[in-house]
Structures are given as C-alpha cells and as structure tokens.
Amino acid sequence: MLNQPFSYPLLKRLWNGCSWRYCADGGANKLHDPGHPHPAACLARYLPDLIKGDLDSLRSDVREYYTSKNITVVEDHDQYSTDLMKCISALAEKEKAEGMEDSDLVILGGLSGRLDQTVHTLSFLHKLRKSKRRVFAITDDSVAWVLPEGEHRIHINHDMLGPTCGLLPLGVDSTILSTTGLRWNLTDTESSFDGLVSTSNHLVPEEEFVWVKTSRPIWWTAELRASGLAE
C-alpha cells in the first residue's frame, strides 16, 4: 500500500485476495484512515504485516497505534531505494526465508498523485518484468501491468473492467503492436511517444479475451468499474 488515496471497497477486495500486506511508509496513514463508516471496527480488522520505509511520511499517531498492535515497523534510511523498493525487498527476504517462489505482487496506488512518484512506479515495474514475479498496479480508476515482448492473451472480466483501455510504449523508443479483441485493433503498427499511442481504446463486450503481440515491453492498462468493486 502506497501513500495515495484509495476507496474502502477497493481495499476490502484486495485485502481479502492477498496473503501478506505491507505498507510503504505513509501508506499506513491511508490504511489507518480508510473512509470506513465504522473506523474502529475497520482498524481492528485491517492490520498490516509490516510497515517499512524511511518513515518521513508516517504520522506519529499512526505509528503509535500499529506499534501498540505489535505490528513490525522498520525504519530504513537507504536513500538509494524508495519506500516501495524497500517493501519489495522485504517481501523477497520473506519468500527466501520460507522457501517460496516469487509471489504475485499487487501495488495499491502508484498511478496517481505526484508525477515523479508515478513515473517511479512505471520505471520500477518496467525493470521488474525481468523477474519471475507478476506485478500489478491498481487504483480506483485503473489496473495496469507490463507486458514483456511477445504474445499475450488477456482474459477480460467485463463486470470489473472497461470500457476504456490502453497500450502504452513506456520505457522503450518504439514497439510494433498487433491486437485482437479491441474496438480499434492494430496490425503490425509502430507505437511510440513520437508517433501513435493507443490510449482511450475500448474493450468489446462480446470479446472474452484480448490478444496482444508486441516487439518490445509495454504497459497494458484497463479502466476499473466502480460497480465491480462492490461486494
């Protein structure tokens, strides 16, 4: 969880789908104040496994609360890594200690707020594509992840996603794209910041899958329906 706003329905859905929950520094502030109609009950239910970062954003009252609940709070002043990187490093250490393979990782936040932080999320996840770990960034508006070079078949849950989506050539000079399953498909089309970028494309309700072929790594992003988060 990063230090960016998120709704309680999104928190609830992701929390129930995850095994471990880490807060990157001020992300604990957001968890502490989730906009739930019954804050005390919500606080008792949503206790993270770890809070880690340089702790320059973590409020003192939030730190005191989670410390009183025996939540591990780690202060790390390494200036060559961000709070997100520090949490992922802690995750890797836990996996190694427990003899586990790379887990799927969901980053709550990272695609909104300050532009420099958003660019860092995009850059870091671009680098993480080289690992075996699947990494997703999610906000109340969008879910996104990196598609490495090659072919991809993406299952679309239309109750959760849509209608808009995009294929973004971030971190590469250009790529050659082909797609099926979109409103406006591409066939061996060059995509770059100097040329075409497939933003505001649309998912097709009748299509269960989107197929993407890309010559270079790109970002795939799809809109989240607010109604899909309700339980």
How does pLDDT run across 50-74, given as a tens digit for each residue? 999 999 999 999 999 999 999 999 9
**Number of domains comprising the chain:** 2
Rounded to two decimals, the pTM is: 0.89
User: CB of 149 within 8 A of CB of 222?
Assistant: no
Question: Could you tell me if residue 3 is inside a domain?
Answer: no
Average pLDDT, the chain: 92
Please give the pLDDT value at position 231: 55
How does pLDDT run across 133-145, given as a tens digit for each residue? 899 999 999 999 9
Domain shared by 34 and 115, yes or no: yes
Report residue 230's pLDDT band, with 50, 70 and 90 as the boundaries.
low
Domain shared by 157 and 123, yes or no: no
Helices first, then strands: H and E counts in the chain: 7, 13
Question: Could you tell me if residue 130 is inside a domain?
Answer: yes
Neighbouring CB atoms inside 10 A of 149's CB total 15
Strand partners, 73: 51
Domain holding 98, by residue range, is 8-140
Q: How large is the average pLDDT for residues 99-127?
A: 90
Domain shared by 101 and 165, yes or no: no
Domain shared by 120 and 156, yes or no: no
